[in-house]
Amino acid sequence: MQNTLKPVIVKNVAIGEGAPKICVPLVGETVEQLKEEADFLKNQDLDVIEWRVDFFEHVEDPEKVKEALAEIRLILPSQPIIFTFRSAKEGGEKEVTTAYYVELNQAIAATGQVDIVDAELFTGDAEVKAIIEAAHKNNVYVIISNHDFDKTPSKEEIVSRLRKAQELGGDIPKLAAMPQSVADVLMLMEATHTMKEEYADRPIITMSMAGKGVISRIAGELFGSALTFGAAKKASAPGQVPVGELRSVLNTLHNHM
């Protein structure tokens, strides 16, 4: 069955429509670094910015996070921003308590200064729902994500996690996995295609990481991934392609489809 997929529209960027959108990470540790990076990204060919707040030195102080966000917004008033605290167990820079993780995401959603927050699927169903509820109350969308830096789960498991993210109420289910082989890359792409054709009623994001997985970062339009992560200055995950190259390849594929 082919579901009709409703794109997620943030600041005139339609995620889930046309070519995959390009997202670039902000990974500064200090406010100064963040401002410098934001200034650099202002002139890059990208669609969405992900603030990886787990890199930020004052991430455990919500007020300082809000102040830094206000500075970023002054420089990037019209770009969609995803707010992401990536936990260490899913490849991030640090670990905080689950209670703080929920509180931080809720507090930032309430500022209305981000467009999307990222909630990790395995944080706990009640916790994820609490983040979604706070986000939606403030017209902020939610990516529900899962990352496996060691391996690629089975096709059934990939589909099952994406479906669960959708059932919990996430606006964009996301899954990233590390391939051990080319077969793993194909399996991830096949699982994404199955999810899109049979279950998804909203955009999904998937990627196979590292060098082997690069094809999954550029061919998303064909098999069903709506957003891809590129690197401007510093990559936040293995396998991210520089934005200029990425746009050119995405356009080539889009124009021939």
217 in a labelled binding site: yes
At 213, phi and psi to the nearest 5? -85, 0
Cα angle for residues 140, 240, 248 (degrees, 5° grid): 90
73 in a labelled binding site: no
Cβ–Cβ contacts within 10 Å for residue 77, how many?
10
Determine whether 11 is an active site residue.
no
Catalytic residue among 94, 147, 196, 256: 147
50 in a labelled binding site: yes
86 in a labelled binding site: yes
198 in a labelled binding site: no
Count the residues in the chain. Answer: 257
Catalytic residue among 11, 21, 174, 233: 174
163 in a labelled binding site: no
Beginning with the edge strand found earlier in the chain, give each strand of the sheet holding 48-52 in spatial order.
205-208, 172-177, 141-148, 116-120, 81-84, 48-52, 21-26, 227-231, 241-242
| DSSP track, 19-32 | SPEEEEEE--SSHH
Determine whether 147 is an active site residue.
yes
Report the alpha-carbon distance of residue 127 to residue 22 in Å, rounded. Answer: 28
| DSSP track, 87-145 | BGGGT-SB---HHHHHHHHHHHHHHT--SEEEEEGGG-HHHHHHHHHHHHHTT-EEEEE
* End-to-end Cα, the chain, rounded Å: 21
Catalytic residues: 147, 174
- Binding site for 3-dehydroquinate, residues? 50-52, 86, 217, 236, 240
